[in-house]
Structure formats: C-alpha cells, structure tokens
Amino acid sequence: MESKVSEGGLNVTLTIRLLMHGKEVGSIIGKKGETVKKMREESGARINISEGNCPERIVTITGPTDAIFKAFAMIAYKFEEDITNSMSNSTATSKPPVTLRLVVPASQCGSLIGKGGSKIKEIRESTGAQVQVAGDMLPNSTERAVTISGTPDAIIQCVKQICVVMLESPPKGATIPYRPKPASTPVIFAGGQAYTIQGQYAIPHPDQLTKLHQLAMQQTPFTPLGQTTPAFPGLDASPPASTHELTIPNDLSRSRAPREDLPCVTSCSSSHPQCPRCPGATCFCHQPHFSIPWPPAAL
C-alpha cells in the first residue's frame, strides 16, 4: 500500500479488513450470493470473505479509494436496513447504531489514537461516529479491532479519516494477521462410529476418529474390585481393610442395633474403671467406642 495522498484526496489502492459475525456475513452475501455480487459490481471493489466454519469471518475489501468507500457505504446501509427490519418485530424505541469492526495492525493504533488521545478525539468530533480501539491484540496475531459506530454517513467519513492516518503511518515490522478459528463441533460415538453434530442432525465423522474409538474399545477393560488383575497375576485388587474407632454420643448410641461383627465397649462409667481410652482408675469420656473394620478409601 502506497502512502501517497493527493490534493483531491487519497490516490492509492487500499486493502481494508473487516471482522464480522456469521449473521453479518450472511447479510452481505445475500440469497445465493446476490447481495455481495451487486456490491462488487456497483462499487468496483474486490470483496472476499474468508472460508471456514467460524463464528467470525474476515471480509477483505480491496480497490481504489473511490471503490473502497462505495463498498463501505453499501455495507453500512445494508446493516442499517437490517436493523430497521429487526425493529419492526421489536418493542425497542431507540434505534441502535450501525457498527463495523476494522482489523488494524497494532503498530498503527498509536498513530490512530494520537498523543493523549488527540487524534481519535478529532475523528470523533469531525465525523460524529464513535471510535474505539481495543486494548488487547486479537488472538495469535499482531492486530487490533477498531470499532466504529454511528449512522452510515458518519461511518463512511470516519473510515476515510482512518485510512489517511494509516497511509501516513505505515505498519512497523512484520504483521501477523488475525485468522478466526473454526468453531469446535461436538463428537459422539455410537455403535463404533463417530458422528459430528450439525444442527439437529448427526453426520458420520471421518474414519480417523472412528478408528481411534474402536482401538480404545479393544483395550483391556478395567478389572472389577476383588478380582485378580490380568497384568499382575495373583495380585488382589481389593484394598486392605483397616480398623477405625469412632466416638459416638450416648444419646445417639441408644438407637444403634447391636451387631456381632462390630463389637463395642459398653458405656464407660465408674463401674468400668479400666476403660482403654481413659488412663487411670477413673473414666471421664462416658461415651461408647466402636471399632469398625472399613476400607480406608471409604472413609
């Protein structure tokens, strides 16, 4: 991109990238691609939309300055039309602004903001559009999102001024472009076959995941507790039992049904001076003690 500005305006070929959600992309593509085809023909700009099953898509607009601004105007007015149509079935009284998100190299954002925010303030006041520069870079890139909100006319004027700033201050160093990641698709296994969920349907998945699932099912299953582990003959898998003593208050111990396998010491009193838990001739605990054999992991 040449950083050349003529007296009549910009005299360069521009490439501007926009970040859009799936619904926004669908709006500018239109039915059978008719809307984007019309935008390309009437503006003279090249409009490319990134492929892939992603929540976000990159829309790249390339061409002479006049073509770029015509394309932006058509996109902004299309979004305003979408907002108007959506409000016909809504109870909202105030009309939300049109919003576009530009993708800008982080090294150029300082010039766009200006010293003490002076440049971005100037752009806001002269165009009437709201401009916000993201503080963080987009994932796995050296680019930031610049959000522009307002009327279509305000957005067009704002984009023109942003382009002038970017041409006067080219990016420094290499730029790593932002590439949206595909949306993760749920995978389920049934009958030895892998399926991906697409809407309300389960679509058979490529063979790689199916083979991986089948291989996992062929492995030795877990050995039930108490049985001999095949890999270690003679080894008892059940954990050793140990004895744990519990002290239970008298008022609760009366409801306990006696069991032969859980011997207990009757309630301590002066008639039982040799209590195993209280040293000396006198017992002070006055509570029964139960010895319960139980696996350690269960406690």
Whether the predicted pLDDT of 273 surpasses 60: no
What's the farthest any 2 CA atoms get from each other in the chain? Answer: 113
Quote the DSSP letter at residue 116: G
Give pLDDT tens digits for 182-191.
Answer: 766 667 767 6
- Give the pLDDT confidence score for residue 181 in this predicted structure: 84
Give pLDDT tens digits for 209-252.
Answer: 556 656 666 665 555 555 555 554 554 555 555 555 555 555 55
Tell me which H or E stretch contains 213: helix 207-217
What integer is the mean pLDDT of 96-111? Answer: 95
- Give the pLDDT confidence score for residue 39 in this predicted structure: 97
Q: Are 188 and 203 in contact (CB under 8 A)?
A: no
Domains recognised in the chain with CATH numbers? 5-168 (3.30.310.210), 187-216 (no CATH), 242-298 (no CATH)
- Give the pLDDT confidence score for residue 295 in this predicted structure: 56
Amino acid at 47: I
What integer is the mean pLDDT of 130-142? Answer: 95
- Give the pLDDT confidence score for residue 12 in this predicted structure: 82
Whole-Å CA distances, 69 to 41, 76, 147, 154, 218: 14, 10, 17, 12, 61
Using DSSP bridges, classify how beta strands 130-133 and 143-150 pair: parallel, antiparallel or unpaired: antiparallel
